[in-house]
Amino acid sequence: MNTYLKVARYHLVNRVQYTLLPLGWLAFAFAVCVVIFTIVDPSTKNGHVGALASIFFIFLALGVQSVVQLLPFGFALGLSRRTYYLGTVLLVTGLSVTYGLLITIMQEIERATGGWGGHLSFFRVPYILNGAWYLTWLTAFMGLLFFFLLGMWCGLIYRRWNLIGVFGFAATVITVALAGALSITWTHTWSGFDHFFRALSATGLTGMIAALALVLLTGGAGTMRRVTV
Amino acid sequence: MRNETTVLDDGTPLFLQIGAQLADDIADGTLAEGDRVPSSNEFAAFYRINPATAAKGINVLIDDGLLEKRRGIGMFVASGARERLLAERRQRFAQQYIEPMLAEAKRLDMDVELLVSLLHDTSKRNGDGDR
Amino acid sequence: MTPTISVTQLGRTYKDHAALADVTLDIAPNAITGLLGRNGAGKSTLMRIIAAQEFASSGTVRVLGEDPMENDRILRRITFVREDQIFPDFKVRHVIRAASWFHPNWSEELAQTLLADFELPPNRPMKKLSRGMRSAVGIVIGLAARAEVTLLDEPYAGLDAVARQIFYDRLLADYVEHPRTVLLSTHLIDEVADLLEHVVMIDHGRILIDAPADTVRGQAATIGGPADAVERFVAGRPILHRRTMASVSSVVVGGGLLDQDYRQARDLHLTVQPLSLQELIVHTSETTTEARKSA
């Protein structure tokens, strides 16, 4: 069996973490929403809940765990950093495809049942997860991948530079964003910025997330190269 | 055979001690001519030492002609080994015990005859002693 | 004979100190080599660099002829058991199962035997194991892997004396059946002295001893007795240490003793106590520290 597959298998040894936990939480959150919606009068047309966001944050946590908890023994198994990184990325790609598909299917069912008979919009998120099934799948996949890679990079930064490093990273990101905002203000291009985003379709946004995910992928790989346990 | 209570002296190299242990067994008849000697791996496991060390010890005895290797079967005590060993050890006995004994006797002002009669007396006493 | 591990002028410096300095070392194939030294001497650092888990500041490492760093082909043939291994949130049997996938020479039979020997509960989460049991899991993996290059860095942390003896016995038994290159670092020298074929001693990041075990053993002895008789005996020999109390003295001499030396000592009514491997290592370390202080 190919080594990268073995790495993916290694992650999945403790099935609970990557399968039962996210699914369980999703099921729980969903059940809670359904119950609330049967209690509360669903006269409000807009039944959107932000609960789906939790799955993305779960993937963020899984990304962190893949480094903090699983990497040290990965070294003991004789895995090079490159192999471990790529094997983990392979795993999360598979997971993101699977969970994305799940979200897509549930979304279709939700649409078909009119919001589960109560106008609940659990799996439909306005603007980004509300379109054709293949777009939903793509966006969900990209989003999950993005958050996992972010978690992974944070985990790697933590391994190399501890908590100070993580705070430094967060501070850097915020500073860059701030600098971007300032430069837009000074060049009086806010209207252009605003216009660009209004015109951006869901697909476009997905493309931007993909680009950011690529940044995370390369950044993580760079940090991985000198990580020790 | 060395048992758990025997302590390996830390002075002489381990492999020599293994060799000496084997030689002792040949000398006192525990290992008769033609008997199979344990392999170095068996030695290593039994004495809990490195197999290379055990092998070295066995090789010393092979070089001295006390053991012979039969290909595919193992290590065996060579014929005439016991005699050769006893002869060599008697010589060493003279060096180790008799020479210092004579030196000590001289210090105590004993001549050889007195020494010999002392030997006889002591031997008789021990021979008649309880077991 | 190409050495299995070849380290050349290896150095590892951290911000405030040098963990390893100018380490040059060859580890012979299919032998048990002991890496001895005090806590903090640099044993773990050296082994981590050989296992490509740590980066060298200078110098080179070659394992099985290649640089092990990021080298999947070579890393597959190495197993490294370290004393502070972090395990994932798995159960014991998960850890063993995962390990079995990554080692080409893995023996499931041996793994199961060892699990039973150490009385490790297969279904208990690693987190719930005591330190000693976690070490035992590491040992099970290290031995069942039957890797060509087996690196054991004080793998017995927390193991009681009985379990340690089980470890030595199983290591020896399997090593005899399936020879491999073993590098075992330890500060419990007396316990492993007989297992070692070769001895490397490291102190403050430098190699002090690198010799066959037989050469090192019995290299020095303590001569004790009446002071003038002792002096007569030790005249002309390298003196490593001297202690006197009234008319009695105790002197450690080096250079090894022959049969006639033992006889001479007996004639002079002196006691001869050869230094064990552990005493020798301690002594070498002490003298080096003194030399460094006075330098």
Convert the pLDDT of each residue in C29-59 to its tens digit: 999 999 999 888 999 999 999 999 999 999 9
Across B54-65, average pLDDT: 88
Chain C residues inside the 8 Å CB shell of B100:
263, 266-267
The DSSP code for B95 is I
Please, which pLDDT band fits residue B1 given cuts at 50, 70 and 90? very low
> How many residues does this entry show for chain B?
131
Å from C58 to nearest chain B CA? 34
Residue B3: what pLDDT? 37
Between CA B75 and CA B60 the distance in angstroms is 13
Site of tokens 């016991």: B82
Q: Do chains A and C touch (3 or more CB pairs under 8 A)?
A: yes
Give residue ranges of A with CB < 8 Å to any C CB: 1, 3, 6, 9-10, 13-14, 17, 69-70, 72-73, 75-83, 226, 228-229
High-pLDDT (> 70) share of chain C, %: 100
Q: Do chains B and C touch (3 or more CB pairs under 8 A)?
A: yes
SS3 call for C178: coil
Subunits with 3+ Cβ pairs within 8 Å of A are C
Query: What chain B residue is nearest to C276 in terms of C-alpha separation?
Result: B10
Q: CA-based Rg of chain C, rounded to a whole angstrom?
A: 22
Q: Across the interface, do C85 and A72 touch by the CB < 8 Å criterion?
A: yes
Name C14's Cβ contacts closer than 8 Å, sequence gap at least 6.
Answer: none
Across B22-36, average pLDDT: 87
Query: What chain C residue is nearest to B40 in terms of C-alpha separation?
Result: C176
Interface subset of C 162-191, CB within 8 angstroms of B: 168-169, 172-173, 175-177
Contact C222, C250 (CB under 8 A): yes
Chain C residues inside the 8 Å CB shell of B15:
214
CA distances (Å), origin C94, targets B107, C97, C195: 76, 5, 32
Point out which residues pair with C58 in neighbouring strands. Answer: C11
Give the amino acid at C95: V
Nearest to A228 among C55, C86, C138 (CB): C55
Contact B78, B97 (CB under 8 A): no
Residue A47: what pLDDT? 62
Q: Across the interface, do B53 and C168 touch by the CB < 8 Å criterion?
A: no
Own/partner pairs for C6-10, CB < 8 Å, 24+ apart?
Answer: C6/C60, C6/C61, C6/C62, C6/C63, C7/C46, C7/C50, C7/C59, C7/C60, C7/C61, C7/C62, C8/C59, C8/C60, C8/C61, C8/C62, C9/C58, C9/C59, C9/C60, C10/C46, C10/C49, C10/C56, C10/C58, C10/C59, C10/C60, C10/C61
| Ranges of chain C with pLDDT below 70 | none
Q: Please report, in angstroms and rounded to a whole number, the separation of the first and last CA atoms in chain B.
A: 23
pLDDT at B131 > cutoff 50:
no
Chain C residues inside the 8 Å CB shell of B14:
194, 213-214, 217
Residue B2: what pLDDT? 36
pTM of the model: 0.85
Please, which pLDDT band fits residue B129 given cuts at 50, 70 and 90? low
Name C243's Cβ contacts closer than 8 Å, sequence gap at least 6.
Answer: C249, C250, C251
Please list the alpha-helical segments (H only) found in chain A.
3-12, 15, 21-39, 53-68, 71-76, 81-112, 133-186, 190-199, 202-224
Q: Please report, in angstroms and rounded to a whole number, the separation of the first and last CA atoms in chain A.
A: 27
How many other CB atoms are found less than 10 A from the CB of residue C243? 11
Joined tokens for residue A90: 């392979």
Å from C92 to nearest chain A CA? 11
| b/e B36-55 (16+ beta carbons within 10 angstroms → b) | ebbbbbebbbebbbbbbbbb
Q: Across the interface, do B44 and C221 touch by the CB < 8 Å criterion?
A: no
Phi, psi (degrees; rounded to nearest 5) at C21: -140, 120
Between CA C72 and CA C63 the distance in angstroms is 12
Q: Across the interface, do C94 and A73 touch by the CB < 8 Å criterion?
A: no
Query: What chain C residue is nearest to A224 in terms of C-alpha separation?
Result: C70
Task: Give the 3-state DSSP-derived string for A12-36, with helices as H, strands as E and coil as C.
Answer: HCCHHHHHHHHHHHHHHHHHHHHHH
Contact A128, A83 (CB under 8 A): no
Phi, psi (degrees; rounded to nearest 5) at C247: -100, 10
Contact B37, B77 (CB under 8 A): yes
Joined tokens for residue A22: 């996210």
Subunits with 3+ Cβ pairs within 8 Å of B are C
Q: Do chains A and B touch (3 or more CB pairs under 8 A)?
A: no
C276 interface with B at CB cutoff 8 Å: yes
Closest CA to C220 of C208, C230, C232, C234: C234
Across B107-126, average pLDDT: 90
Between CA C133 and CA C121 the distance in angstroms is 9
Contact A14, C90 (CB under 8 A): yes
Å from B84 to nearest chain C CA? 21
Q: Across the interface, do C217 and B52 touch by the CB < 8 Å criterion?
A: no
Residue C75: what pLDDT? 96
Across B81-102, average pLDDT: 87
Joined tokens for residue B18: 């293994």
Substitution target in A73, A159, A224, A226 with the highest count of C β-carbons within 10 Å is: A73
How many other CB atoms are found less than 10 A from the CB of residue C130? 10
Between CA B85 and CA A221 the distance in angstroms is 70
Between CA C237 and CA C251 the distance in angstroms is 11
Between CA C27 and CA C49 the distance in angstroms is 14
CA-angle at A217, arms to A213 and A220, nearest 5°: 130
Between CA C169 and CA B50 the distance in angstroms is 11
Residue A44: what pLDDT? 58
Chain C residues inside the 8 Å CB shell of A229:
53, 86
Q: Across the interface, do A80 and C71 touch by the CB < 8 Å criterion?
A: yes
Residue B6: what pLDDT? 43
Name B14's Cβ contacts closer than 8 Å, sequence gap at least 6.
Answer: B8, B49, B53, B57, C194, C213, C214, C217
| Ranges of chain A with pLDDT below 50 | none
Q: What is the DSSP pairing of strand C181-186 with strand C271-274?
A: unpaired
What order of strands is seen across the sheet that includes strand B74-77? B36-37, B74-77, B67-70
Substitution target in B50, B99, B101, B107 with the highest count of C β-carbons within 10 Å is: B50
Chain A residues inside the 8 Å CB shell of C90:
13-14
> How many residues does this entry show for chain C?
295
Contact C36, C42 (CB under 8 A): no
Chain C residues inside the 8 Å CB shell of A14:
88-91, 94
CA atoms within 13 A on the CB side of A30: 16
ipTM of the complex: 0.87
Chain B residues inside the 8 Å CB shell of C211:
none
Chain C residues inside the 8 Å CB shell of A2:
none
Site of tokens 């490397």: C200
Between CA A85 and CA A102 the distance in angstroms is 25
Contact C215, C234 (CB under 8 A): no
Phi, psi (degrees; rounded to nearest 5) at A95: -65, -45
